[in-house]
A and B are shown apart, each in its own frame.
Chain A
Amino acid sequence: SQTIHQWPATLVQPVGSPLSLECTVEGTSNPNLYWYRQAAGRGLQLLFYSVGIGQISSEVPQNLSASRPQDRQFILSSKKLLLSDSGFYLCAWSGQTEQFFGPGTRLTVL
């Protein structure tokens, strides 16, 4: 069966510091991969999606970036965090129809 991992589970970072969140998928090959952000009390905002290694589509211009160095690995990065980057970050993968979500990373920028 397929499994999706995200780490870390929680993170507290100062403004201006770098960020790296990692997502890995097991049990499937060539998945479509996604990064979403949930701000407090709000819905899901699609940040990036990838349909293959090295292929990244950005949905919202901002100080975040994404990379897909391997088929089942998706990384979300920032060089300098802003206060507005705080939120709950969710990684997801999709196959034929539905999406499956990871457990999420709670990021607090102070």
Chain B
Amino acid sequence: AQSVTQLGSHVSVSEGALVLLRCNYSSSVPPYLFWYVQYPNQGLQLLLKYTTGATLVKGINGFEAEFKKSETSFHLTKPSAHMSDAAEYFCAVSGPGTYKYIFGTGTRLKVLA
């Protein structure tokens, strides 16, 4: 079985500050982990993914995430927030041979001027 927990349904940061969105997962198989971003009234866009290999993965728009197996975490970070980063972010888990993707409940990021 797989599950995802996103800590903090709402996160506010100042423009230029570090963005940290937390995601913890559980999985009975080696996980595939994803971060998606959703802007209002749009579909989800893939930011980055981890499948195998390097545990620090870089994505679009300056975001990166680190897979930490011992902590069962896949937190999303960005060194400097931009106003355009304001959106909802979803963490998801899947795995090899599985058809289902388990999504967290989402974190709404607000960027303050």
Q: Which of B43, B99, B105 contacts A102 (CB 8 A)?
A: B43
Is A43's CB under 8 angstroms from B45's CB?
no
Is B105's CB under 8 angstroms from A42's CB?
yes
Residue A13 interfacial (CB < 8 Å):
no
Q: Which residues of A contact B70 (CB under 8 A)?
A: none
Chain A nearest CB: distance from B32 CB in Å?
6
Residue B94 interfacial (CB < 8 Å):
yes
Q: A32-B99, A98-B34 are in contact. Are A43 and B42 (CB under 8 A)?
A: no
Residue ID in chain A nearest B101 by CB atoms? A99
Residue A78 interfacial (CB < 8 Å):
no
Is A100's CB under 8 angstroms from B100's CB?
no
Chain A interface bracket (under 10, 10 to 19, 20 to 34, 35 or more): 20 to 34
Q: A101-B45, A104-B43 are in contact. Are A94 and B101 (CB under 8 A)?
A: yes
Q: Which residues of B contact A103 (CB under 8 A)?
A: 42-43
Residue A49 interfacial (CB < 8 Å):
yes
What is A's interface to B at a CB cutoff of 8 Å? 32, 34, 42-44, 46, 49, 51, 57, 88, 90, 92, 94, 97-104, 106
Interface members, chain B 27-77 (any A CB < 8 Å): 32, 34, 36, 41-46, 49, 51
Chain B nearest CB: distance from A44 CB in Å?
5
Is B46's CB under 8 angstroms from A100's CB?
yes
Q: Which residues of A contact B44 (CB under 8 A)?
A: 44, 90, 92, 99, 101
Complex CA–CA separation, A92 to B92 (angstroms): 14
Nearest 7 CB-CB pairings of A with B:
A101-B43, A43-B105, A101-B44, A44-B103, A103-B43, A104-B43, A98-B49
Q: A97-B51, A103-B43, A106-B41 are in contact. Are A43 and B90 (CB under 8 A)?
A: yes
Is A104's CB under 8 angstroms from B41's CB?
yes
Q: Which residues of B contact A46 (CB under 8 A)?
A: 100-101
Q: Which residues of A contact B103 (CB under 8 A)?
A: 43-44
A-B contact pairs, 19 of them (CB 8 A): A43-B103, A43-B104, A43-B105, A49-B99, A51-B99, A57-B99, A88-B41, A90-B44, A92-B44, A94-B99, A97-B32, A97-B49, A98-B32, A98-B49, A99-B44, A99-B46, A102-B43, A103-B43, A104-B42
